[in-house]
Structure 1
Amino acid sequence: MPPSTTAPGHGGSSPSMPPIKLPPRRGRWLLAALLGLALLAGGLWVVPDWLAGRDCGGAELTERDGECVGVSDGSPAFLPTGEAAEPLTERFREVQRLIRVENTRVADDGGAAVKVGLLSTLTPDDRAPHAPVRVLHALEGAYTAQMRANHSRQLGDPAPQIQLMLANAGSRHDKWEPAVEQLVGMTDDAAPLVAVAGLAMSSEPSRAAAARLAEHGVPLVGASASADGLNAETVPGLVRVTASNTDFVTALRGYVRGRDDLDRAVLVHDTRAPDLHVSTLTEAFRRELAEELGDNPDQPFQGTTIGESAAPALFQAAVQNVCATEADMVLFAGRTADLDAFLDSLHSRPCRDRPIVVLFAETGPVIDESEQEQLVASHITVVQASAMDPAWAVDGGANPAAPAGFADFYAAYTSHLPQEDDPAAALADGYAVANHDAVAVAVRAVRVTHAAAPETALTPGRVTDALFLLHLDNAVPAAGGTLNFAIERRGDPGGKPVPVIESPPGPTRPELYVTPFP
């Protein structure tokens, strides 16, 4: 089901009273104050966490529009906001408590240590581009990498030890300045910050944050930001563990051209700026599937997740036009929440008796098994290029189809974290894997350059140079593939598997695409 388009906190209404619509986030403080006065008059002081003002709880954190931004060692914890995110609050606290405990252990040991930052959207809300549960999984994956780095030799010799610093750039990555400035300031610490991982979103603010780090010589390993050009080609020292949008679409092109029944496509794309993910995915679809698009006109829409006050995406007219083109494929360039709304409209399309394939790209699978029966009834197949295949986590991570490094990651993930969910279900969205791999690549670069000159002080510049030595015998056995980084790929990973996932699944699994190296 698509997410509600009602503002967070809408709790229903009686038949005689119109529904209450919450104002934008800046207006919530006034509403909270008014409610507080009303509750005080009744002898009650109960205001939901998502409505109450935030106490950032630390001199180094900054409150901006209800979000605590800046850098933390795990205390105080960054928390999600919104009514739907409330059940995850304690799990957010717990994983950050574990990170703080490990950071404290490393500091107390007094041995050689460095800091690695995790720059991400750590205070998500119900309408953010990355849902709170994905951000939780991102934190879990990063912590798993820290523990593997410090307590095993799977990411190289366990020296220097790693402190993981959590840098919140805001729910839409648009409040990044305090976090980045603090990270840069840590490069002179006794345990210096030498690299940053994360970068969850492909957006102009994300690129600006990466550029600011680059100005100070701090390397950045992206986790799930896949926009073309968001790499070392435009930002020195920026590499990433995810495939690019062109790689994703290349995998989809191979799928399309391997089927005789697919030959006519129409492009449905988000026009709401700024969203580098959508704009570069749109261009990749146009370039790589130009033959299938022919002269069919584009079907634009206004997306809902980058802007905080976005109206619901409306698709009825686009769906009618899709039917008019007699296309057998839709190339959907948008974000997951808008895909859900588009599929809802597609279920009631005028040409419902004609099968249609929707092509999409995202870090992890987006279609739940509960939705597949309706897709079958509506003759819809969603075909997604992904960074993660849920099948990898089957059989306790021992699936032979999984990348070589996945089993060791799975074992560490399940041993270092309390498992409230089925691990396979928690890993399915791909965000634990992506953020684990981003931290793991940063750690491998640290360890490679330290081993080459153990008596020389570690600096961000040395780690930047080492990133482009992570290939051949120094390739990273990451959870999402054995990753190679070379100058020729401009910071994009070589050897990265890109599964193509069908929902509902077909009789045979599509051929696996692997990014080229060099």
Structure 2
Amino acid sequence: MPASTTGRPGLSPSRPLWRRPVTWLVIAGVLVAALAITAVRLQPRHWNACHGFSREYLHVWSRDGDCVGVTDGATPIDAAFGAQLGGRFGALLDAIRAENERVESGRVDTPGSDTDCTSTAGEAVDVAALAPWRSDLAGGRAIHQLAGMYVAQWRANHLRQPGGCVPFIRLLVADPGRDMNGWSEVVDELSTYDRLVAVVGLALSRTQMIEAARTLNGRGIPVVADVVTADGFDRSNFAGVPEVCHPQSGTGKLTQFYRIAYPNQRYFAQLGAYLTGVDLLGRGRAVQVTQAGYDSDQFTCTNVEHVNRLLEPAPDPITFELSGNGKDATGQIFTKVSPICTDPAVRTVFYTARAVDLATFVVAMNRACPRGITIAAGTDTTRLLTPETSHALEMQRQDALEVLHSGNVKLYFPATNSAARLAGSTGFANFKAAYTGAFAGTGHAELFPFTDAELADTWMVNAHDAMFVTAAAVHALHTNGQAYEPAHVASNLSSFEIPDAAQGTLRFDRNGTRVGTPVVLRLCSDGVAPSTQVVVPRRLTACPGDQR
């Protein structure tokens, strides 16, 4: 038998592997599997309907039909939202992008000075503004919130306020989605950014935002919140708060956390004292209306608990299903409130639900109480001071403003501050100058006038001051010779009070909650535009349009 040319006795010559059909089948299968895996992994965070990714691994991606993620301004979170209210949110992202580009260049101008602020490579840090910008529970106030943060960023980089201009601050905008349920993925994304030293914002006292703050603190990243007010949403970690109001998920703790707002307890103490002093609160004189399932919303739940303590006796609240997710509460509200004024002893109705339905409630109470009624509501009342992003909600707001103009329904609420109380202070004057400078060169200054209407809901000044406090801790890194790391920013936050913020000197208690006293306001209207009047203890407060 002739020898095999392959050296394998008794076998015919074998084909090379690359000529065997089975080899190609295997290779094809591996390639298909690899492509499928890659597509699954990349699709949610890159190639999607949410405008893909921007740069430096900042991503906006699709989640359950919504857009979530982090942008430096170069990529919109949601183009449709950016176009609302005359394109104001989109214009803000443009302004932030331009400022971030100046930061990346290492040089920004200093108005009125011969010396510009300069930095070398590596002398810039990231601060992320995390909030549910498009949530139905925030409404148009979110635009004021981001505007305040941008002004503080610009002020820190250009005006050396507070404490110098190095390191420069790049502002990132993080969105956990309309329903906030993308918070975990967005926090994971933020945690990968080497230059991130702090997070500001949050906006809503909801379980998702509480868990986001806890997770960030657990990873060593400090958080400075702007307008969250639920009792226990601070470093006390809900100690002393009724169990029913505790977040029902998560086990983390807030350890490096500060907030510019006060707790609900302080707001309602002020409101209750005023109402008692003008004989609008007493045994059997008030009832409470709130949203069904209020125990799952820490803001509403702690509102309810405080009002229960104010009422004598404290009957079960009247509840309704809050509007949202395609539901309209109008019919429910009109039905539920119609019997209230049949009791002549009732002079005041507490509204402790989220304010997405407050406008409807005002109109319903006007119909139910032709002899007049007082509404006492929580801090979310500021929603009526700001145009809505939704046309339908804006029409409801305008209807409520017409009712308030008549004076038949009088609306009182507590707030962190008011423009009238701030006027004349050095910090507020500096804030106004920075506001003008920040928008002067954007090409969109007409979209951002500095008016009482812009300031009235307090979200702008609170968000500015959250960023201002953070900027003070960031600039102290350079002054103290510290590494640009979150741990040192957290250390700096804990060690000083902040003078000359927009709301004056800011101090924090041992739980990271601001020290001070809220103001009580009456919400007034000329029939179209709202305004506020600061109350005087033991005196009924009049609005210019009162007819009775």
Tell me, yes or no, if the aligned pair for 2:262 and 2:513 is still in contact at 8 Å: yes
1:381 aligns with 2:432: no
Aligned to 1:194: 197
List, as ranges, runs of 4+ consecutive aligned residues in structure 1 with deviation greater than 4 Å.
367-373, 505-508
Tell me, yes or no, if the aligned pair for 1:77 and 1:96 is still in contact at 8 Å: yes
Counterparts of 1:250 and 1:423 in 2: how far apart (Å)? 32
Tell me, yes or no, if the aligned pair for 2:362 and 2:403 is still in contact at 8 Å: no
Counterparts of 2:486 and 2:478 in 1: how far apart (Å)? 12
How far 1:249 sits from its partner (Å)? 0.8
CA gap 1:465/1:137 in 2 versus in 1, 3 angstroms:
same
Counterparts of 2:160 and 2:419 in 1: how far apart (Å)? 27
Matches within 5 A, 1:355-504: 355-362=373-380, 364=382, 366=384, 371=400, 374-375=403-404, 377=406, 379-391=408-420, 399-400=423-424, 403-417=425-439, 418-424=445-451, 425-451=453-479, 453-454=480-481, 456-471=482-497, 475-487=498-510, 490-495=511-516, 497-504=517-524
How far 1:217 sits from its partner (Å)? 1.0
How far 1:434 sits from its partner (Å)? 1.9
The aligned amino acid for 1:448 is: A
Counterparts of 1:241 and 1:476 in 2: how far apart (Å)? 14
How far 1:242 sits from its partner (Å)? 1.1
Q: TM-score, normalised by structure 1?
A: 0.76
Counterparts of 2:328 and 2:94 in 1: how far apart (Å)? 37
Which of 166, 169, 173 is equivalent to 2:176? 169
Matches within 5 A, 1:14-93: 54-58=50-54, 60-79=59-78, 81=80, 86-88=83-85, 90-93=87-90
The aligned amino acid for 1:270 is: Q
Tell me, yes or no, if the aligned pair for 1:360 and 1:382 is still in contact at 8 Å: no
Counterparts of 2:532 and 2:174 in 1: how far apart (Å)? 44
* Unmatched segments (≥5 aa) in structure 1: 1-51, 394-398, 513-518
Q: Deviations over 1:371-404 (max 9, x none)?
A: 55523646211001112424368xxxxx33xx54
Aligned to 1:35: none
Question: CA RMSD, aligned part only?
Answer: 2.7
Counterparts of 1:293 and 1:449 in 2: how far apart (Å)? 53
Matches within 5 A, 1:74-113: 74-79=73-78, 81=80, 86-88=83-85, 90-109=87-106, 110-111=120-121, 112-113=123-124
How far 1:481 sits from its partner (Å)? 3.8
The DSSP-based 3-state class of the residue aligned with 2:379 is strand
Counterparts of 1:363 and 1:231 in 2: how far apart (Å)? 22
How far 1:88 sits from its partner (Å)? 3.2
1:277 aligns with 2:274: no
Counterparts of 1:486 and 1:208 in 2: how far apart (Å)? 22
1:331 aligns with 2:350: yes
Counterparts of 1:362 and 1:479 in 2: how far apart (Å)? 21
Counterparts of 2:350 and 2:306 in 1: how far apart (Å)? 10
Counterparts of 1:283 and 1:485 in 2: how far apart (Å)? 24
CA gap 1:225/1:116 in 2 versus in 1, 3 angstroms:
same
Q: TM-score, normalised by structure 2?
A: 0.72
The aligned amino acid for 2:298 is: L
CA gap 1:310/1:230 in 2 versus in 1, 3 angstroms:
farther
Q: Deviations over 1:470-512 (max 9, x none)?
A: 32xxx3432234210232xx111013x5221113489984149
Aligned to 2:286: 265
Q: Deviations over 1:312-336 (max 9, x none)?
A: 2522343134224432111111122
Larger of the two Rg values belongs to structure: 2
Counterparts of 1:237 and 1:363 in 2: how far apart (Å)? 29
Q: Deviations over 1:278-297 (max 9, x none)?
A: 1111112223x1xx342444
Aligned to 1:301: 320
Counterparts of 1:199 and 1:87 in 2: how far apart (Å)? 21
Aligned to 1:344: 363
Tell me, yes or no, if the aligned pair for 2:88 and 2:447 is still in contact at 8 Å: no
Aligned to 2:212: 209
1:117 aligns with 2:118: no
Tell me, yes or no, if the aligned pair for 2:381 and 2:413 is still in contact at 8 Å: no
Tell me, yes or no, if the aligned pair for 1:267 and 1:293 is still in contact at 8 Å: no
Counterparts of 1:380 and 1:91 in 2: how far apart (Å)? 32
The DSSP-based 3-state class of the residue aligned with 1:482 is strand
CA gap 1:98/1:377 in 2 versus in 1, 3 angstroms:
closer
The DSSP-based 3-state class of the residue aligned with 1:156 is coil
CA gap 1:80/1:366 in 2 versus in 1, 3 angstroms:
farther
Percent same amino acid among aligned pairs? 29
Counterparts of 2:427 and 2:352 in 1: how far apart (Å)? 31
1:145 aligns with 2:171: no
